[in-house]
Structure 1
């Protein structure tokens, strides 16, 4: 099982590698153009220079793979970055000279190309690195995809801890709130970070927060308190980082690492391999594009039927809760009368669902057309847009409404530790036939704990068969 932050380092490493490859290719192509077209026009053997370009790319790959060249990419300053690129370029040039000499091809290569290539590569790579750093910081901090971190510490330490975490300059997390374990300063700010909770209301506040990870810095706190704290946050599906030098715990997903100079142990009941998540996202994009084409074809017919059947808009939108508390607007074809939400309260006593969901087999709010598009799951097809933009996935857990989410405890909240899906484990295990919310939670957590690409593919096929067979669809 990989380190919790290794996935971010992999993204960083491969992104910089691609930038470096692009830079050397452009630099070499420009060097050839300048030398053979601008300085002195002459023809040159294209095949030979393609081979030299391949040598340069290979050297670039070897340098990045074996020298761990970009382990501190985002924390390097401007001067450090320039020094790194000059050294890197010199190594490329020396390596190229050696290769051409050993293959007895150095006499075919213009010496001036070495100099032009080196100068161009330093300028282009340096510019590309700086632009990439600034772009990642700016984009990721503004994006809802950024890892939101809550810091729990003591009042006397808060200033220093927050300052160090902010100065850590990591692109993939954002400190969004702090909780003071020994003081009540809710509503105030420290280092520009809002104080969200104290000791007494810590867990109730976190359940409703948009937070992905928790950083705990509470020295001299009894181990029993820390263990209980970590357990409760794990039950919510959150990743925990505890600032310690040595700590032992029976959990296979526990990792010792450094964050902004602090030694921490990170805890999570489940971590997912970033490469498989990337494949999952590619599946989502591909599947959503196909789904959007289907949606575009059927929309005129569905829209006409909805308009003829009842007054109101064609589409229904509602705020739902996504991964770790992120709110997004979900889209469906409208299947109910326009006053459905207002009438829901008077129908609560007829709820056939045990727990935090509302289900009613003969729901009077559903229109005639609505019953058909629900029976065939056509009403869900606009959600392919939600999948395309990343709010949802093809397979995941059901996104709850805001009023449902407000009643969640830590155990229920763990359902939201992954991106919600159009379909999932409980839908293919009976869809609307399941009448107990606890059973839905168990199935969702079983999906999270046993997640794999193979399981996603299996659920997708089971969903198709369930829809075609109208199994449990109401």
Structure 2
């Protein structure tokens, strides 16, 4: 999985180079005309040449393996010192093929001045863009699911070697939180020892880990098997350097972390393209939702302020993907002391002890009842979606006190981003009073996820809002 993410990043560099080549082609024509004082139009010959350039440049970049996309050699590094020289060679080769082709067909339409300006502009822009993109990539990806927080677990000698390798290869975009060892072994690596294998599930929750990488001698495989299964139940991605376990939930696959081969079990099996597609949909939906929120706020804000004392927005800390906390925003629908009153109403809770839900909740204001019935109170959550803390569709975001009561298998519902809507919301949540049924619906969404499922849930959500059902 980590290797797939790395390939996606490398492909993004090729796409960037191709787009910038298109841009510099046009810029070169403008600069040539300015230098010559000419007004030559972008004629047919230039369009044909542009089509050739758009094919030739990415082929040349892949031919010279500028970004190491087709190589598994141990010395192949995704570093600027390796990328930039090969990029220069690839561009020069592509330009040589291009000019040779123009010479052979003996065309007089394409200006030599244009070719020189294009060559200089193109190679300068590509080198600058690669430098800026590569240097800023870690910051750009830090808030995304590409940037993984991992725990390295195993015997001290193997852990030490693996940590040393990972520290040298920072282009893998991972953070090593710390290490976990077999009982009785001392720490030998440069990273802090978090605990022993028996503490692994609790350490995952405490440190918000995304992945666990296990490297261990064959003799100890059976000893750690129960802890691997507990990680699987939590929905945590596991990478094992050797051997296989019979997983009941997670999908097993052969992958690598850099050049180190691993056997990987992933309960959430989204490839980078699916992650990016879902994120793009979320960003577009978030922007549209915030515009709608702004328009409706003209009516909602005064109604809230006139109905009861207090602020317009309700902010609460919720638990997101893999235990990360974030602040969720809604329009206020309750009185100011709602959280204090909740303790007095616990005996009237219609759900089991894991969640709180009550029909005709006395804390809800008059305007709040209307906002909840129409789901208009959820509108500010589009800000959470735009910021990347939530998705348009996902699992229900739990509160801190709910997560404190979780068993290990409940943690699996946190293996994806929470959503404004989800399977529970469109499956008649008023009739669902057992938290285990909520978990089953969330797990069903995780296991059967697709873009089309998200769209289906969005359409069902809109239908439920129009019918004013589900609350």
Q: What is the TM-score normalised by the length of structure 2?
A: 0.88
Aligned equivalent of 1:121: 122
Equivalent residue number for residue 42 of structure 2: 46
**Cα deviation, residue 265, structure 1:** 1.2
Worse-matched range after superposition: 266-275 or 413-422 = 266-275
Partner of 1:75: helix, strand, or coil? Answer: coil
Q: Secondary structure of 2:351's partner?
A: coil
3-state SS of paired residue (1:257): strand
1:193-234 deviation line (CA, Å, top 9, x unaligned) = 443332332222223431111111122343323443332212
Q: 1:108: how far off?
A: 4.2
- With over 3 angstroms needed to count, the CA separation of the structure-2 counterparts of 1:160 and 1:135, relative to structure 1, is same
Name the SS for the 1:266 alignment partner. Answer: strand
Moved more, 210-219 or 363-372: 363-372
- Say what the alpha-carbon RMSD is for the aligned residues: 2.9
Match status 1:87 vs 2:89:
yes
CA distances 1:286-328 after superposition (whole Å, capped 9, x unpaired):
3223322222222233222222222111110001111111211
Checking the alignment, whether the CA contact within 8 Å between 1:35 and 1:113 is kept in structure 2 is: yes
Written as runs of structure 1 = structure 2, the 5 A alignment for 1:199-214 is: 199-214=197-212
Equivalent residues of 2:177, 2:207 under 8 A apart: no
Structure 1 residue 249: Cα displacement:
5.2
Per the alignment, residue 407 of structure 2 pairs with 409
* Distance verdict in 2 for CA 1:339–1:36, change over 3 Å: closer
- Hey, what's the Cα distance between the residues in 1 that align with 2:467 and 2:27? 61
SS of 2:54's equivalent in the other structure is: helix
| 1:304-323 aligned within 5 A | 304-323=302-321
Mapped contact 2:17–2:126 kept (Cα < 8 A): yes
Q: Is the 8 A contact 1:237 1:415 kept in 2?
A: yes
* Equivalent residues of 1:136, 1:171 under 8 A apart: no
2:263 corresponds in structure 1 to 265
> In the aligned structure 2, how far is the partner of 1:28 from the partner of 1:255?
43
Question: Is the 8 Å Cα contact of residues 352 and 358 (structure 1) preserved in structure 2?
Answer: yes
The 3 A distance-change label for structure 1 pair 429 and 303 is same
Q: Distance in 1 between matches of 2:26 and 2:440?
A: 58
Partner of 2:67: 70
Q: Give the match for residue 162 of structure 2.
A: 161
**What CA distance in whole angstroms lies between the structure 1 residues aligned with 2:168 and 2:439?**
39
| Counterpart residue number, 1:179 | 180
CA contact (8 A) 2:423 2:441 kept: yes
Deviation at 1:242, TM superposition (A): 0.8
Partner of 1:59: 56
Instruction: Name which of structure 1's ranges 110-119 and 57-66 shifts more when overlaid on structure 2.
Output: 110-119
Q: 1:140 to 1:452 in 2, by over 3 A?
A: closer
Change in Cα spacing, 1:335 to 1:81, as seen in structure 2 (3 Å) is: same
Which segment is superposed worse, 75-84 or 53-62? 75-84
Distance 1:250 1:235, change over 3 A: closer
Partner of 2:16: 19
C-alpha contact (below 8 Å) 2:318/2:398 kept by paired residues: yes
Question: Does structure 2 retain, via aligned residues, the 8 Å contact 1:180–1:199?
Answer: yes
Indicate whether 1:324 and 2:322 are aligned. yes
Measure the CA separation in 2 of the matches of 1:12 and 1:362.
54
Match of 1:148 in 2: 149
For residues 265 and 179 of structure 1, the distance between their equivalents in structure 2, rounded to whole angstroms, comes to 19
Which range moves more in the overlay, 443-452 or 172-181? 172-181
Separation in 2, partners of 1:284, 1:51 = 37
Distance change >3 Å, CA 116–CA 315, structure 1 → 2: closer
1:458 corresponds to: 456
Deviation at 1:430, TM superposition (A): 0.9
Contact 2:67–2:78 (CA<8 Å) still a contact in 1?
no
After TM superposition, give the deviation of residue 415 of structure 1 in Å.
0.5
- Cα distance change, pair 42–138 in 1 and its aligned pair in 2 (3 A): same
Q: Aligned equivalents of 2:425 and 2:30: distance in 1?
A: 60
In structure 2, distance between residues paired with 1:334 and 1:467: 19
Rounded to whole Å, the distance in 2 between the matches of 1:437 and 1:407 is: 12
Question: 8 Å contact 1:242–1:264 — kept in the other structure?
Answer: yes
Residue number among 239, 254, 257 corresponding to 1:256 in the alignment: 254
The number of equivalent residue pairs is: 464
Distance 1:139 1:388, change over 3 A: closer
Name the CA shift for 1:232/1:172 in 2 (closer, same or farther; >3 Å): same
Offset at residue 126 of structure 1 (A): 1.9
